[in-house]
């Protein structure tokens, strides 16, 4: 019974309802005076409250994926990369044999509607994996969307562009598939020839849940920026046929994920050359969910300045990247900062915008923006010209190469 499974949720809800009903039924019998009835009433209250809170905790965790597995909840998570067994035909994972991308359980993918069903060469495929950080030792759950062309014979050596889609905090990868409809939208756009065949890697912004790491390398703490700029690209390039040039890589996200996407493109333009951000912040700050992201001492303020994107555009060389930002005139608190960010953009950087008349910091708004954002990003990414090496023909042995002897 998985930590995020509906079976566990239904079981805890039934237990909570049973405890409430049992408390109502036995309460009259515990109404008398004396130590035992008092202890009985206290016990009934404590057990009922615990059962109700447990059901709420399971429901919230299943929605936002603070913890994906029991081992993660209990802290029994290995930090060292592990080799995987050779994949059979029934594994359902098309990644090459690698220690950095491991097949995972459904991770909620079995609850998502509208995913490709049928032959992968016709409809594509979404895989559930874990990405292992070789440098950071982080283990991050991910969904990987592979377009139909990835499986077609004429593309068997072709590499593909990559979009790294990042969820908001505290949401997990389920939100990208279930609420934002990233893989479903990609399939629709590709069938309409509005998006080139693209591999999409869906991840969450934090590598040390439940802490919000904001894609920052924390001094003495989680190295989130290193994971997204070194570990994740290395793992994906080793496991899938994707482009190796930065022009084939872009980052996209909503809320905190959108902030991460912009941070990655402006701070690491040699890894990501485009970014699309829906309802993003343009400055990373400490709060209760992040803890201290920049450490202490005289260097802390300088580190914080480096993650203030408007400050970077005013004081540092502007990178050659393309960005798209989305906000709403009414209902979004980031509208003013979005305009200031766009005003600070200058060559060689280019920008685009989606400004709705009204919206909110919610999926009802982001679903309207995700299609245009993905279509825009597809126009920024270069379809890789390089291909995978051709298989070498078998070498002829000396005996086979020698001409037959005449008798």
* Tens of pLDDT, residues 276-321: 999 999 999 998 889 999 998 889 999 999 999 999 999 999 999 9
With 80 as the cut, is the pLDDT of residue 82 above it?
A: no
Higher pLDDT, 30 or 196: 196
Task: Kindly state the percentage of the chain with pLDDT values over 70.
Answer: 85
Give the tens place of pLDDT for each residue, 204-258.
999 998 899 999 999 999 999 999 999 999 999 999 999 999 999 999 999 999 9
Mark 282-320 as b/e (b = at least 16 C-beta within 10 Å). Answer: bbbeeeeebeebbeeeeeeeebbebbebbebbeeeebbe
Average the pLDDT over each of 18-32, 44-58, 72-86 and give the range with the smallest value: 72-86
Tell me the domain boundaries of the chain: 6-64, 95-380
Q: Give CA–CA dist 275/95, Å, rounded.
A: 25
**pLDDT at position 51, please?**
87
Average the pLDDT over each of 84-88, 126-130, 138-142, 306-310 and give the range with the smallest value: 84-88
**CATH code for the part of the protein at 95-380:** 3.40.50.1820
Closest by CA position to 377, among listed 165, 206, 148, 114: 165
Task: Kindly state the percentage of the chain with pLDDT values over 90.
Answer: 60
State the CB neighbour count (10 A cutoff) for residue 362: 14
**pLDDT at position 142, please?**
96
State the CB neighbour count (10 A cutoff) for residue 389: 7
If residue 259 lies in a helix (H) or strand (E), which one and from where to where?
helix 256-267
What residues does 131 pair with on adjacent strands? 101, 140
Task: Work out the pLDDT band at 37, boundaries 50, 70, 90.
Answer: confident
* Pairing mode, strands 125-132 and 139-146: antiparallel
What residues does 276 pair with on adjacent strands? 252, 324
Long-range contacts of 362-369 (CB under 8 A, 24+ apart): 363/175, 363/179, 363/180, 365/278, 365/279, 365/328, 365/331, 365/332, 366/180, 366/254, 366/278, 366/279, 367/179, 367/180, 367/181, 369/278, 369/326
Give the tens place of pLDDT for each residue, 362-401.
899 999 999 999 999 999 999 988 777 766 665 554 444 4
If residue 44 lies in a helix (H) or strand (E), which one and from where to where?
helix 35-64
Give the tens place of pLDDT for each residue, 85-123.
222 233 345 555 468 999 988 888 888 999 989 999 999
State the CB neighbour count (10 A cutoff) for residue 50: 13
Identify whether the C-beta of residue 211 lies closer than 8 Å to the C-beta of residue 145.
no
Q: Give CA–CA dist 124/116, Å, rounded.
A: 6
247: Cβ contacts below 8 Å, ≥ 6 apart: 273, 381, 382
Computed over its alpha carbons, how large is the radius of gyration of the chain? 25
Task: Work out the pLDDT band at 79, boundaries 50, 70, 90.
Answer: very low
Higher pLDDT, 406 or 118: 118
Long-range contacts of 287-291 (CB under 8 A, 24+ apart): 287/212, 289/169, 289/170, 289/210, 289/211, 289/212, 290/211, 290/212, 290/213, 290/214, 291/211, 291/218, 291/221
Cα 22 to chain center, whole Å?
42
**pLDDT at position 30, please?**
78
**Residues in the chain, total:** 407
Identify whether the C-beta of residue 80 lies closer than 8 Å to the C-beta of residue 138.
no
With 70 as the cut, is the pLDDT of residue 262 above it?
A: yes
What would the mean pLDDT of 156-160 be, rounded to a whole number? Answer: 93
Cα 382 to chain center, whole Å?
22
Instruction: Please tell me whether residue 69 adopts helix, strand or coil conformation.
Output: coil
If residue 234 lies in a helix (H) or strand (E), which one and from where to where?
helix 232-239
What is each CA distance from 359 to 262, 335, 353, in whole angstroms?
21, 11, 15
Average the pLDDT over each of 48-57, 187-196, 369-378, 391-400 and give the range with the smallest value: 391-400
Q: Give CA–CA dist 218/292, Å, rounded.
A: 8
- Helices 35-64, 6-26: crossing angle, 10 deg rounding: 160
With 60 as the cut, is the pLDDT of residue 406 above it?
A: no
């Amino acid at each position: 019974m998985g930590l995020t499974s509906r079976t566990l949720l239904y079981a805890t809800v039934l237990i909570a309802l049973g405890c409430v009903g049992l408390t109502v039924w036995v309460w009259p019998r515990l109404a008398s005076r004396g130590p035992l009835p008092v202890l009985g009433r206290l016990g009934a209250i404590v057990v009922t409250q615990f059962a109700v809170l447990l059901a709420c905790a399971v429901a919230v965790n299943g929605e936002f994926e603070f913890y994906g597995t029991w081992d993660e909840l209990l802290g029994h998570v290995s930090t060292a990369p592990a080799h995987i067994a050779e994949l059979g035909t029934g594994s359902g994972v098309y990644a090459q044999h690698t220690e950095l991308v491991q097949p995972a359980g459904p991770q909620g993918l079995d609850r998502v509607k509208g995913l490709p069903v049928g032959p992968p060469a016709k409809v594509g495929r979404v895989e559930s994996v874990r990405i292992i950080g070789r440098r950071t030792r982080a283990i991050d759950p991910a969904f990987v969307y592979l377009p139909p062309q990835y499986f077609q014979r004429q593309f068997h050596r072709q590499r593909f562009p990559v979009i790294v889609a990042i969820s908001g905090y505290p949401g997990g990868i389920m939100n990208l598939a279930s609420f934002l409809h990233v893989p479903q939208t990609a399939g629709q756009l590709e069938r309409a020839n509005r998006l080139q065949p693209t591999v999409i890697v869906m991840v969450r912004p934090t590598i040390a849940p439940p802490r919000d790491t904001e894609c920052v390398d924390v001094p003495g703490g989680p190295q989130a920026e290193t994971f997204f700029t070194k570990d994740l690209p290395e793992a994906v390039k080793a496991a899938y046929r994707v482009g190796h040039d930065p022009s084939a890589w872009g980052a996209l996200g909503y809320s905190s994920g959108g902030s991460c996407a912009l941070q990655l493109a402006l701070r690491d333009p040699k890894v990501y050359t485009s970014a699309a951000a829906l309802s993003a912040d343009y400055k990373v700050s400490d709060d209760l969910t992040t803890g201290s992201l920049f450490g202490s001492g005289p260097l802390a303020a300088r580190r914080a300045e480096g993650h203030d994107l408007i400050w970077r555009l005013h004081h540092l060389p502007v990178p050659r990247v393309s960005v798209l930002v989305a906000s709403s005139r009414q209902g979004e608190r980031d509208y003013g900062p979005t305009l200031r960010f766009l005003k600070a953009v200058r060559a060689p950087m280019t920008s685009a915008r989606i400004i709705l008349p009204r919206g909110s910091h919610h999926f009802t708004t982001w679903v309207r923006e995700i299609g245009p954002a993905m279509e825009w990003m597809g126009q920024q990414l270069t379809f890789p010209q390089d291909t995978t090496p051709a298989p070498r023909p078998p070498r002829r042995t000396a005996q086979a190469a020698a001409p037959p002897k005449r008798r």
